[in-house]
Structure 1
Amino acid sequence: MSDSVPLSADYVVVGAGSAGCAVAARLSEDPSVRVVLLEAGARDRNPWLHVPIGYAKTMYHPTLSWNLTTEPEPELGGRRVPWPRGRVLGGSSAINGLLYVRGQHEDYDHWRQLGCTGWSFEDVLPFFRRAEDQERGPSALHGVGGPLAVSDIRDRNPLAMSFIEAAAELGFPRNDDFNGETQEGAGLYQTTSRKGWRVSAATAYLKPVRNRPNLIVVADAHSTGLLMEGQRAAGVRFRRHGTDLTIRAAREVILCGGAIASPHLLLLSGIGPAEHLQEMGLPVVHDLPSVGTNLQDHFQARLAYRVNKPVSMNTRTQSLWGQFLMGAEFALRRTGPLTVSAGTAGLFARALPGSATPDVQYHFLPFSTSKTMTELHPFPGMTISACQLRPESRGTITLASPDPAAKARIQANYLSTETDRRCMIEGIKLGRRLAQTRALGQWVEEEIVPGAAAASDEDILAFIRQTGNTIYHPSGTCRMGGDPQSVVDPELRVRGIEGLRIADASIMPTVVSGNTNAPAIMIGEKCADMVKAAARARLAA
């Protein structure tokens, strides 16, 4: 796996994130093909990229994150919402909260109903299993021996265990596997980690094959556009260390930049809504109106509580001695607060009466923060985050400028429907009921965010508008479908363009009901399988 820059390859993969690492590693299994993987960020050498709690240091890092922001959001009082995205080998899987959640079986069956042939849960399950190295062993739903380690959490804080008991008090079932037969219920999350260390897509897929001579990973390579020859994507233009370069793809270009970068690159290349491209002064290569539309994201609001005993992470971080003990515990046993993911215990529940499956997800955290992940309250605290799983709101990704160095314009349109607003209100109310149970209430001294003043539904909605945030799952902007208005077909081929596929969360027609890292990796696995099948078919023809 060289860092040199070749002039051509059979396959050029853009973006070494969750899907891109899987695509590149799987395609390079064939020693007869040459694969080049372009990544705008640097190599994953920062130590915090490998410690689970490191997301507190890296998510808003000046160079490891793109540090995007939305446009002013109309339903959030004109606030701009920060959107961190990974800018490093591994992409957002290197800075995320580590949770391994596939979503509901019904999500993928719904994709199939929308015309995405070959994407039902039965169809995608083999790719989830192939990617997985499940600590608990193999089963009908889980795999072992795959690149992606999936492990039980290593820090079982008493507050988290009480959260699970609180859900049981309210009648929710215990669920020890959110990726099992059903998602509903409360339990502990599993994480993409091995023996206490984070496993990013780069760690999982690239590190084991770094000696393959036919896989070339080029870091610090910011893709600026597709090399178009008529209606064919013949390669990729990129900028590296101040120099503009081009690499040709003999067979295919595969975009894996994610829900922001993939449509952004299409637009910069003249593929997208003709009117918008003309407004930007760009030549229209292919009028594809759906590029950048259908943007979806999970929205969250957080309840924070002061707890009455020094059992939260807040307490341990307040002194140098406490920090030393945390570091020592991790160094000696790979356990303790440094292994904490962005949610230790969880609950999937139905907040709205008409929902057939869970419509809200809870992330329980045994700490509480003031402004950022690095500023914990100076007293023991805990957090209950409520996140709507299937938002109706739709946003857009558009160009702010034809300059490839300019960031895309993101309009999320959070809370733009009554269903979304009602689901979030009911989600917060259910979160409060959890905190008032015997099991969890025994720890609670007071609710500090939003506090007792936010009593009515109107007050709660005002709180959500003022403080709600992304939970980092943008998707849908290069929608897959069986209809001619979709951006990619069920084989992930861009409509109207030869030699070009997209494999990342942007192809999701609807966002999955859960975290998006595991589904993005599955999409990468399935894309590689389809590309290999197409190559075999060409040889046989």
Structure 2
Amino acid sequence: MSRQHFDYVIVGGGSAGCAAAARLIAQGAGTVLLIEAGKDVRTLETRIPGFVRQAIGKFDWGYVSEPDASRQGRSEGWARGRILGGSSAINGMMFVRGAPQDYDRWAAMQNPGWDWESVAPIFRDMETSDRPGPARGHSGPLNVRTVRRPHALTRAFLDAAANAGYPINDDYNAGDQSGFGLAQLSQRRGIRNSSADAFLSAVRDRDAFTLWDECDVQRILFSNGSATHLVCSRRGEEILVGADRIILSAGAAGTPKLLMQSGVGDPDELAAFGIFTAIASREVGRNMMEHPLVRMVYETSVPSRNMTGGIRQSIGELADFLLRGEGILAGAFEAAGFVKSDERLSAPDIQYHFLPLGILDPVTHADPLLKRPSLTIYANLSHPAGRGRITLASADPAAAPRIMPNLLGGGEQDVKALAAAIRIARRIMEADPMRGLATRELTPGADCGDEAALMNHVRGNTEIAYHISGTCRMGSDPDAVVAPDLKLNGADNIWVADASVFPDLISGNTNAACMMIGSKLALQLSGGQTGR
């Protein structure tokens, strides 16, 4: 077994890991090894957003959840990127910072330094946005573009939202999320801008930076509260890696799995797998959060992006992408919205995604893409009460973890909020001009009208939004897995930087927050500052 040593080792080349590596190198923090289990590739599937289903098929860990009793036994794939760039290389590219109130709430949950005033400069520093104004960054490595040539159905949806009484918001990342607006995407001219694309291009050739792709970290070795080595396997070679500082950025599924494999977790559960407890931390893998999502699909009286127009539509979409970086090849999401399920709430708790493309539930339909003009609306609950967990299935590092969602296990309030989200979407679809364009509601369907029927539909058809988080919760209490500075409790040289540290879900897609977290930790460890 060969041995190597670095100042920093980052486990996981995804959204947070790439951001952390680039920032450490830029700050001259020392030698950095970035370890990624997947390949260092940029393929047609990962570059062109319209091929996202193919990208998931090729570069996914292939995790499948346990049957969820809170959703009538539903089980589904939990896509997680196994490629340099992580899930940012296979996701829908929605760029949403979250609401300022989210981070102020994190700080109020005994996490000093995570308030909006503290994290907003990091968001600005990492982006180049096409939205004007001082709230946005305009010289950072990550390119963020707004959809500029939306489909006619998308324009009609926004007009209908306004006619239904909801504000139009030109920039839901500038502070106030309320209302509806065109989607903002992690892209450059319609091409995906993953975390690897954005952050690593400037550091790949630096002598201090080393990247190992196709490398599996099997476990962490501990001695007296310090991590001494990582046991790695790369292309048939066993490597023992030492590091002064270790950052775990393997994601909300991968990080707790690696910790438990290494003896960090609930001692009773570890003992059941014959794993010696190095650090007792009973909440590792617990507190798992995910945005519950309900899908609405409508047939339309005008063509959508479902490619029903034959060769003429295909040529038009190709030209739109090649000439302008727009259209279906640039992605399906074209608008977003944030509303309150109950006007008594202080802030929006429902997020909408609008797609001028009809897609049925892929769990219940082998061929979910509709062959007729149609559209889809996703509505997800931003702050669900339900908590699931991740556990080991085996002591074998190659075995997938067990994912137990409990997605609607928080009680009837979550089910009622999602039912309210459907009613709000219907109100918009019944307003002009959508009223004349949507001919039939395919799901939930016209027979799902009263409150009881809606709630039953929610219980049986709620999906995940692929925003898994919270499995290594940060906090100042003794049960927290990591401290507010992201150091692993019980260890003196390991930090965690990914969605697993979320103490609560944010109002929005989680990818941007993960990149912020990686950048923030690297700044902390290197003594750097934001400045742009």
TM-score of the alignment, normalized to the shorter chain, above 0.5: yes
Q: Secondary structure at the match of 1:315?
A: coil
- Could you tell me which residue of structure 1 aligns to residue 232 of structure 2? 238
For residue 284 of structure 2, the aligned residue among 288, 291, 302 is: 291
1:109-188 superposed matches below 5 A: 109-137=104-132, 139-188=133-182
- Could you tell me which residue of structure 1 aligns to residue 11 of structure 2? 14
- Could you tell me which residue of structure 2 aligns to residue 275 of structure 1? 268
Q: Is residue 85 of structure 2 the alignment partner of residue 85 of structure 1?
A: no
Task: Report if aligned partners of 1:19, 1:503 keep a CA contact under 8 Å in 2.
Answer: yes
1:339-488 superposed matches below 5 A: 339-341=330-332, 343-372=333-362, 375-416=368-409, 417-488=411-482
1:253 is aligned with what amino acid?
Answer: I
Instruction: Find the aligned partners of 1:371 and 1:242 in 2 and give their Cα distance.
Output: 40
Give the % identical residues: 37
Instruction: Find the aligned partners of 2:301 and 2:33 in 1 and give their Cα distance.
Output: 55
When normalised by structure 2's length, the TM-score is 0.95
Instruction: Find the aligned partners of 2:3 and 2:171 in 1 and give their Cα distance.
Output: 45
CA shift digits 1:333-386 (9 cap, x unpaired): 322221124x21111000124421001011010000235497421110001111
- Offset of residue 17 of structure 1: 0.6
1:362 is aligned with what amino acid?
Answer: Y
2:470 is aligned with what amino acid?
Answer: G
Q: Secondary structure at the match of 2:307?
A: helix
Which piece of structure 1 moves more, 364-373 or 180-189? 364-373
RMSD in angstroms over aligned alpha carbons? Answer: 1.7
Instruction: Find the aligned partners of 1:339 and 1:524 in 2 and give their Cα distance.
Output: 27
- Could you tell me which residue of structure 1 aligns to residue 255 of structure 2? 262
For residue 334 of structure 1, the aligned residue among 303, 313, 325 is: 325
CA shift digits 1:235-262 (9 cap, x unpaired): 322222233322110x200000111101
Which 4+ residue blocks in structure 1 deviate beyond 6 angstroms? Answer: none
Instruction: Find the aligned partners of 2:440 and 2:199 in 1 and give their Cα distance.
Output: 45
Instruction: Find the aligned partners of 2:175 and 2:444 in 1 and give their Cα distance.
Output: 36
- Offset of residue 449 of structure 1: 1.3
- Offset of residue 413 of structure 1: 0.4
Which piece of structure 1 moves more, 290-299 or 460-469? 460-469
Q: Secondary structure at the match of 1:8?
A: strand
CA shift digits 1:416-453 (9 cap, x unpaired): 11111111111111111111112211111111112112
- Could you tell me which residue of structure 1 aligns to residue 246 of structure 2? 253
Which piece of structure 1 moves more, 155-164 or 8-17? 155-164
2:76 is aligned with what amino acid?
Answer: V
Relative to structure 1, is the Cα distance of residues 199 and 374 closer, same or farther in structure 2, using a 3 angstrom cutoff? farther
Relative to structure 1, is the Cα distance of residues 388 and 278 closer, same or farther in structure 2, using a 3 angstrom cutoff? same
For residue 306 of structure 1, the aligned residue among 285, 299, 302 is: 299
Instruction: Find the aligned partners of 1:359 and 1:336 in 2 and give their Cα distance.
Output: 29
- Could you tell me which residue of structure 1 aligns to residue 68 of structure 2? 73
- Offset of residue 321 of structure 1: 4.8
Relative to structure 1, is the Cα distance of residues 515 and 32 closer, same or farther in structure 2, using a 3 angstrom cutoff? closer
2:25 is aligned with what amino acid?
Answer: S
2:421 is aligned with what amino acid?
Answer: G
- Offset of residue 184 of structure 1: 0.6
Q: Secondary structure at the match of 1:69?
A: coil
CA shift digits 1:427-486 (9 cap, x unpaired): 111111111112211111111112112122222223223332111101111111111211
When normalised by structure 1's length, the TM-score is 0.93
- Offset of residue 29 of structure 1: 1.9
1:401 is aligned with what amino acid?
Answer: S
List runs of 5+ in structure 2 lacking aligned partners.
none
Q: Secondary structure at the match of 2:306?
A: helix
Q: Secondary structure at the match of 1:391?
A: coil
- Could you tell me which residue of structure 1 aligns to residue 307 of structure 2? 315
Instruction: Find the aligned partners of 1:86 and 1:424 in 2 and give their Cα distance.
Output: 28
List runs of 5+ in structure 1 lacking aligned partners.
535-541
- Offset of residue 290 of structure 1: 1.3
Count of aligned pairs between the two proteins: 523
Instruction: Find the aligned partners of 1:268 and 1:145 in 2 and give their Cα distance.
Output: 41
Which piece of structure 1 moves more, 227-236 or 105-114? 227-236
1:47 is aligned with what amino acid?
Answer: L
Relative to structure 1, is the Cα distance of residues 530 and 25 closer, same or farther in structure 2, using a 3 angstrom cutoff? same
